[in-house]
Amino acid sequence: MIVEKHKKIARDLSQKVVNEKDYSPIEEYLTDGYVYHGLGGMMSKTPQGFMEAIKGFHAAIPDLKSEIIDMVGEGDRLVLRFNFTGTHQGEFLGFPASGAALHFEGMIMRRFVNGKVAEDWDYFDFPTVVAQIQTQLNS
């Protein structure tokens, strides 16, 4: 079933790219015309741009881990809900390293074309992340 294949790709991307910092699946699983829509209008139009965004997260949160909580798919779309954890150790969202222990949720809607990810819409719980960082910086 196509949706099951999409779920496997999503699990591989989460585990290898986010959790293990192995960026090789990006080239394997993303189309050449891939488009990433991030928070605050952030957008990249290449797999390389997506990789740079993930590397930015890893620079700020070196121990970043993602856990997929839910996946729902239909046709060429897959929606994932994640838990993220990590320690804020570098500049992130305009904040200096705080040492804050971060725990937040996020969601991605993913569109597939011919078995590859063509487009992502990525959202995470920005207010919770900011509150956790500010609490640590103000303590």
Q: What is the amino acid identity at position 92? A: F
Q: Which H or E run contains 1?
A: none
Global pTM reads: 0.90
**What is 2-137's CATH topology?**
Nuclear Transport Factor 2; Chain: A, (3.10.450)
| C-alpha neighbours within 13 Å on the C-beta side of residue 90 | 10
Ramachandran class of 75: left when φ > 0, alpha when ψ lies in -120 to 50, beta otherwise? left
Tell me the β-bridge partners of 38: none
| Domain segments of the chain as ranges | 2-137
Whether residue 45 contacts residue 35, with contact meaning beta carbons closer than 8 Å, is answered with: yes
pLDDT per residue of the chain (139 residues) written in tens, 0 to 9:
899 999 999 999 999 999 999 999 999 999 999 999 987 788 889 999 999 989 999 999 999 999 999 999 999 999 999 999 999 999 998 999 999 999 999 999 999 999 999 999 999 999 999 999 999 999 8
Give the N- to C-terminal CA distance of the chain in Å, as an integer.
51
Q: Distance between CA 52 and CA 36 in Å, rounded? A: 11
Task: Quote the CA–CA distance of 38 and 118 in Å, as a whole number.
Answer: 14
Report DSSP state, residue 9: H
